[in-house]
Structure 1
């Protein structure tokens, strides 16, 4: 693995900064369409390259954020306009049966902006948030604002930590993994706290 990362680093160091920005931005965008794309690692490597003077960390963040939010917005709009038609069709209903689709829509409507915001910090889940927010026909502002804020926080944190703390290319993968775990735990904790607060409020309202 270290040899592979070193070889990748040497290749990237030989590229113009504009090409590096394009690659990082493209991977950050593709994550919303094909979740297995290693967007976090690509952004981390981009931030690491700021040590070598190849790129500027703040520009890596700006390109990443803009690309990710733009792609998420387009996927949301596709889900809003075409998603329900697809999932109620022959192929879509095989991938996701109507009962499960209805359950997902109910969850999105119930948790709204907070659910979208926290879900965007969960690895593997963040990519499916935009299309199903669209399928559930949540409002544009209600959907895109929390997506954009969560994306800004996540990629800002990722870029800042790696740009300041990664001394070797191997540190990038380690730090990306740690940050994913930390944000996952924080998101789950915050989500649990919100659910508990809502339940207590409902119990209080019923007791009045």
Structure 2
């Protein structure tokens, strides 16, 4: 994979960087932790300039984020409410009102998470979906995504540029930190799932038996 990315960027320059980061946003398994330091390093090997690499990566980030934002817009409040009111979802403890509560929270307090989460592995892409579902202002979404993405891209590209031929070491270190964040997120998800079963699913099943 690494060799393919190198060849692609060597051949198409800024366009390749932008395209790879766009796909990284839509398909998170493609690692920005590898692409961005690589892009910074390739400034030494190609005609690209560091600011241009950062701009190209940020354009790709915003474009990819808007694809997922569009997916979120398709998952409207009405559709999600109807889905969570189905019998299987109600057996799992969900209610249609959960959707309204979540969207209301996002509208009031959660929009800034779009900015913050752009610098957090995994959720940096997925945060675009609830933003679309909540119908966050496209202008505000674009601004928050632009700023957050620019920070993330600038740091990783600059690290790759500074490390030069040792960019792989930087990529490995960033990926290690990213893995830690992923494990933390997974642990939180497991704890949340257990609490959900205890507080929602079990009482719900007991109520149906009575």
Q: Same fold (TM over 0.5)?
A: yes
Matched, 1:68 2:66: no
Question: Runs of 4 or more off by more than 6 Å in structure 1?
Answer: 93-96
Q: CA RMSD in A?
A: 3.5
Q: Kindly state the Cα deviation for residue 69 of structure 1 after the two structures are TM-superposed.
A: 0.7
Q: For CA contacts below 8 A with separation 6 or more, give which structure has more relative contact order.
A: 2
2:12 partner SS: helix
The residue aligned with 2:107 is 109
Per mean C-alpha deviation after superposition, the further-off stretch among 121-130 and 95-104 is: 95-104
1:24-103 mapped onto 2 (5 Å cutoff): 24-53=17-46, 55-80=48-73, 82-84=74-76, 87-88=80-81, 98=96, 101-103=99-101
| Structure 2 unpaired stretches of 5+ | 183-210
Q: Computing the radius of gyration over CA atoms, which structure comes out larger, 1 or 2?
A: 2
For residues 70-99 of structure 1, give each alpha carbon's deviation from its aligned partner in whole angstroms, at most 9, with x where no partner exists. 22123323422x1216545669x7899546
1:111–1:174 CA distance, 2 compared to 1 (3 A): same
How far is 1:41 from its partner? 1.1
CA distance in 1, matches of 2:165, 2:5: 17
Matches within 5 A, 1:95-174: 98=96, 101-174=99-172
Residues 104-160 of structure 1: CA deviation (Å, up to 9, x unaligned): 423321324422211221111111111210101122223221111101111011111
Q: Call closer, same or farther: CA 1:162–1:169 in 2, change over 3 Å.
A: closer
Alignment partner, residue 196 of structure 1: none
Aligned partner of residue 122 in structure 1, secondary structure: coil
After superposition, give the CA deviation of every residue in 1:144-202 in whole Å (9 maximum; x if it has no partner).
Answer: 21111101111011111220134424223234337759x99xxxxxxxxxxxxxxxxxx
5+ unaligned residues in a row in structure 1: which ranges? 185-208
TM-score, scaled relative to structure 1: 0.67
CA distance in 2, matches of 1:86, 1:166: 50
**Count of matched residue positions in the alignment of Structure 1 and Structure 2:** 176
TM-score under structure 2 length normalisation: 0.66
* Cα contact 1:77–1:131 (8 A) shared by 2: yes
- What's the CA shift string for 1:51-73, capped at 9, x where partnerless? 22353322221111111112212
Give distance in 2, aligned partners of 1:17 and 1:129: 31
